[in-house]
Each structure stands twice: as C-alpha cells, then as structure tokens.
A and B are shown apart, each in its own frame.
Chain A
Amino acid sequence: MKRKILSVLTCVGLAVGLLGGTVSAVAADDAAGDFKVGFIMLHDENSTYDLNFINGATEACEKLGIEYSIKTNVPEGQECYDAACELADAGCNAIFADSFGHEDYMIEAAKEFPDVQFCHSTGTKAHTEGLDNYHNAFASIYEGRYLAGVAAGMKLNEMIADGTITEEEAKIGYVGAYTYAEVISGYTSFFLGARSECPSATMEVTFTGSWYDETAEKEGATKLINDGCVLISQHADSMGAPTACEAAGVPDVSYNGSTIAACPNTFIVSSRIDWAPYYEYAITAFMNGENIDADYIGSLQTGSVVLTEINDKAAAAGTVEHVEEVKAALESGDIHVFDTAAFTVEGEELTSYMADVDTDPAYEGDTEVISDGYFHESEYRSAPYFDLQIDGITLLDTAF
C-alpha cells in the first residue's frame, strides 16, 4: 500500500514537473533578443535594503523585456567575485551588485571579463580605477533626506505652537550606522532640512556600528528619546528605531520605505532611492552598444530619489503642499542642500574644503568641493563624500 502511494505521488510529481517545464520554456521565448543581465544581492527579499534593489531590478527588466537572473545572499568576499564570474560565464552582458563591500570583487571580475559591463551601486572607485567596463552609481539621496527634514521641521514647529515643547527643546535624535560619509551626508542634509523650517532645532546622533541591527537600533532610539529628543530619524535599515518610536509615541522619519503599517501613529514620511531608472538607463545604453560614464548620479528629476506618501495622522498640517514647493525649488536649483550660508563648522562659514573623493588608505582630501556658495555633493563621484561635523549636531559616540 505504502509503495503504491509513493509511486502515485512520484507520477503526479513528474507530470506536474513536465507541465511546469513546458510553461517556462514558452515564457522564455518572449525575451527580447539575447541580452541578459545578472544581479548580485547581499541578502534576500527579507532585508529592506536588498528588497529595494530587487524591486528596482525586476521592474526595469520586466519593462525592457529582457532575461535576467538574481543571485541573493552573496557575501562581501570572494563569493561576490565567484558569483560575478558565474553570471558572466552564463552569458550575462551586464552585471550589477548592490552592496558597498562587493566593490573590490566586482573590479577583480571586471578585469577578467573586459567584454562584460560591471556596475556597482554605492561604490567609490570607478572614477579612479580606469576600467571602461566598471561603473558606480548612487542617487542624490541627500535631497530626499532634506525634504524629509523639511517635514520633520514642520512637525517640530507644530509641537512648539501646541505648547508640547519649547523652542529650546526642539531636539532631534538620529540613529546612524557608521561614521561613514554616506551616513554623515544623510543626517546632515536631514538636519539642514529640519532647521530650514525650525531655526532652533538641534540634533543628537548615535551610531550602532552595523548597517542592520534591530536591537542596537531600538536601543539607540530609546536612548535618544530618554535623552530628550522629541523626533527621531535613522539611517540604519531595520524596524528597530521606528518601533521604539511607536511604543514611546515619538514622531519618526524613516528610511528606505514606509513603516506606516507598523507605526500608524508616529510615521511621518520616508525617503528612498528608486533604482529602476538607473537600471533602465544603463541596460538600454549597453543594449544599444553604448558605454556609460564611470559614475551615475540619479536625482529627483530622474525619479531616482523618491518620498513615500506623507502620513497625515503624524505630519503637521500643510506638509504635503510645502514639501512639493521645496522639491520644486531644489529641482530648479534655487536652493542647494549644502548651501554654505546655511551651516557653520566650529563657528566659521566654509569657503573651501578638500574632500576625500579618491579613495585611499590615508583618507587624504584631494578635491575642492566648495564653489558658487555651496558644497558640491555627489558631483565628483556618485557616492556621497560630505563628512563635515557641522555646528548644531552633537555626536554622542564615534566608536564606529
């Protein structure tokens, strides 16, 4: 009897499989031409960071109707080189990786396969490496952060007007990951956005020493709240800070996607990078046999920097309209996020700064980035390099 059941099950399995096999074979015929791309992701769809990339990749490839393959859970080591080479072996014409630590291994693979295009998001070395087939990409997320900061500043103003807090108590808390330029650029632009609305705003920043550590982020947010911060934002990727805010009833500006489902009362808005426009641009260029620049910087105009819907329940009245106005002013160039008139470093307004744009182990400043009255972020390479400690922001710990 048992044997019978087994054999029946096996037959059913085979039949289902054969049907499935035929269906997938038909679907493959739809693919346009023989252009194929591969993607390398640090984690899988359970990580908000990688999910954001996976969604962008899927969207762009479906739209262009090309064949693609995604490798998930690829660590930032030799595994990344192996994965990139395997994708090249499998006939991919362009290969994209999503995590900072993948960069050096992508460069190794790019040297080995000169006819395949290698693109790396968040990396810093393409403009100095001198390889035609290796490119970096980022987006002007500091503009998105600035807009989210505007929404935060309006919330602070509302709280001051309500009498919930005094002007001096308008202190923001920020949970950062590392003292890395991308993080510094992120919290500074957020703070400048908030202070453009609420001039008395100050900020405290704590670092977790990890890009994703739910417990540490939750503890960090709680520490900031206990320290008197009345509004929280974060760089790190987990739900730690948002849920701590919801529990304490403190308004929160989140990152990488909406957290409204878990935090309906405290979530104000979130900014994120949409990678689909970049993927579409790069793949289309490669398909037409054109090359792209070493660095690509997406912006508000390209649709690469986006804000989620603003939560009316937590945001101040009129936030939606005002954020739109500021967005238009940023797009037209009427205002610049890092306008040197808007911030000071050790009490001085800056007129010159040599930033570490070309990566080297000595962290040497090599490029003048201040001109025309503002700090030119993400113009000399795509990844952020704003690493100044401006007045008004207190770093609670800088161990990482």
Chain B
Amino acid sequence: MKNKTKAPLFHITKRKMLPWHRRWFIRLIGILLSFVVCAIITMVMTGLNPVEVASSLVYGAFGTPRKCWILGQEVAILLCVALALTPAFRMRFWNLGGEGQILVGGLACAACMILIGDKVPNGLLIFIMLVSSVAAGAAWALLPAICKAKWNTNETLFTLMMNYVGIQLVAYFTIVWEVPKGSGKIGIINQNTNAGWLPQVGPSKYFLNILIVLALTVIIYIYMRYSKHGYEIAVVGESENTARYAGIKVGKVIIRTLLLSGALCGLAGFLLVGGTNHTITTTIAGGRGFTAVMVAWLAKFNPIGMIFSSLLLVFFSQGASEISTAFSLNHSFGDILTGIILFFIIGSEFFINYRIHFRKS
C-alpha cells in the first residue's frame, strides 16, 4: 500500500553565481549567527557576559597604539607567507612547506648575523642576510618542485616532510650556537651592537615590516593578474594538458613559481629574524606556514582579500590572549571562539554556492 516513495526532507541544488550584495548578505548572516553561538557558549561555559568578553577581544587587538602595531606586525608576517603560497596554490601545487621555508630563511639570516655580524658594515650585512634568506627559502621549495616537474612526485607530502628537515636543521644549529652552554637557546643575537637588526623606520619597530609586506601585496596582485607569468600559472593550474598544447613549458613554470614561493617564505623568515625577534628557534614560524593556507583560501587567492582574512585571524588570536589575561580563562577558550566563527564563515560559502529545497508539506 505504502509503495509511494517519499520525497527526502530536503535536497540540494547548485546555485548560479549570486550578485555580490547577495553573497555578502549571506556572509553577514553567517557572521552574526556565529556571534550568537559564541555568546551562548561563553555564557554556558564561563558564566561571563558575552558583550564584555567581546569588547575585551576588540580591546586586545586595537586597545592601545602598541596593540595596533603588534596587530599590524602579525598581520604583515602572516600575509607575507600567504602571499608566498598563493602563486603555488593558483597552480594547484599544494605547497604545505611554508613552515620549513620560513625556518631555513630565518636560519640563513641568523647565520649571517652570528658569523659575519662584526666583520662587515651594517648595510652590507643586511643585504647579505636578505639574499641568503631568500635563497635558502627558495632552495627549500626547489627540491620538491624539481621532483614534481621531473617525476610528478606528490608535492603535498614532499613539502610537508621538508618542514621536519627544516625544524631539525634549526634544532641542530641552536645547539651549535647556544648561549650559555647547554641552555638550548641562542638568545638575542648581537644585543649590544645591534648588528644586522633592521633599522626602525617611522613611528614603530614594526612599521618597516608592514611597509615591505604592503608593497609585496601590490606586486603579487599585479604579478598574478597582469603578468605573462601569472597567466601561465593560471593555465597550468586549470589543466596541464591545455598548458602544454598552448606551448607553455609546464616543468619550467612549476620550478619558477616554486622558487618564487619559497623565496617569499624565506623573506618572511628574514623579517622575523632580522626585523623583530633577532634570534632563531624551532618555533619562530609559529605555525604560520599552515595558518597562511587558510588565509589564502578564505580570500580565494586574491592578495587584496588576504589583507582582510589575515587581519581576521590575527584579530582573534590577539583578542584571545587578552581574554585569557582579563578573565583568567585558558587561552584555548579564545581558540574555541575563533573556531566557531571560522566554521560559520566557511559554512556560508556553502550557502552561496548551493541552495536547499525543503519538502513541500
């Protein structure tokens, strides 16, 4: 009797491209909903006023001029790594080796500061540091790129494993250069002479880093959008066969693009070691090689969009520190809130691309 198949409760269809205001409307709803969920979780789990927690979050990121500069510096470094990954990702070459490329870049920079810090004039030293960082980062990406171009090896695994080699290399040199003996720490390099420290430009120590990365953002935007190289990258990403048919040398494009990608990661290492930390540790990259993947994806590989996506992630991580200090909450609580908000932001992309039809009762 009941052989009539029931229509499912809902089904999903692909939408046509929505106009920009509809897309942003959906994203706005997603963000607002995430705030509501965060507020409920905050109340239930901590008994704190969500509005106070939220304002503390904002204070942690923008509360004082110093906090703003720190925010800017963190955004700059994260953005630099995301910009580095973008050309490779556009080519569908999944460079997950950012972490290692930053580390060897930083290591090369630290090596110059330690070994020739007192032997050459400062301007020349900084130039040598820059060149060696960029070269080290590029070399770290070159190896997986050559293997991909020649033998089509899996770049995801290869670049990932290069991270661990990079970490161990830094760990080794940390023991070689440690001060005092046995401490496992190099400490600030040239603390008394400041040799190899990037000069302070403008109002803050972090201003120069921010300027450099802003310039880089524009350059990468132009490179990807208007240059012949950028076009070749896009074609190889779409289809290697099409690229070959069009006369593009795929192997050459892969290697060239990865050299760029690694070089820019090396630059991030240079900015971290020469510009701010003035030391090298195995944790100096701080997971940025992976966080930058998210920054790039959230902005759909648009360099200008990445300014905002990196700002979003850094905003939450700086805010989370403030929450843990102000309310004696564990740092993880801030991470939980960040996770919820990201979940909704990424989730809203689903509703931009698909439509849900409910069963008509």
Contact = CB atoms under 8 A, between A and B. Distances in A.
Contacts of B188: 104-105, 107-108
Nearest to A9: B40
B49 A18 contact: yes
A359 B48 CA distance: 47
B257 interface: no
Contacts of A100: 183, 185
Interface residues of A, number: 50
Nearest to B182: A180
B181 interface: yes
A68 to B, nearest CB: 11
Contact of B331 (A10, A73, A103): A73
A14 B48 CA distance: 10
Contacts, number: 116
A344 B179 CA distance: 27
A1 B70 CA distance: 44
Nearest to B330: A44
Nearest to B331: A73
B283 A20 contact: no
Interface in B24-52: 36, 39-40, 43, 47-52
Interface string B188-219: 10010000000000000000000000000000
A21 interface: yes
B51 A14 contact: yes
Nearest to A103: B187
A86 B187 contact: no
Contacts of A45: 330
B5 interface: no
Nearest to A176: B182
B291 interface: no
A210 to B, nearest CB: 8
Interface stretch (B9-17, B273-281, B338-346): B273-281
Given A82-B70, A89-B64, A209 B184 contact: yes
B132 interface: no
A21 B64 contact: no
Nearest to B191: A104
Interface string B319-338: 00100110010110000000
A183 interface: yes
Contact of B325 (A71, A107, A387): A71
Given A101-B185, A179-B182, A356-B181, A400 B67 contact: no
A45 B281 CA distance: 23
B184 A400 contact: yes
Given A13-B39, A13-B43, A70-B325, A180 B184 contact: yes
Interface of A: 6, 9-10, 12-14, 16-18, 20-21, 44-46, 69-73, 75-78, 82, 85-86, 89, 100-101, 103-105, 107-108, 124, 178-181, 183-184, 209, 356, 359-361, 363, 387, 399-400
Interface of B: 36, 39-40, 43, 47-52, 64, 66-67, 70, 171, 175, 177, 179-185, 187-188, 191, 276-277, 279, 281, 283-284, 286, 321, 324-325, 328, 330-331
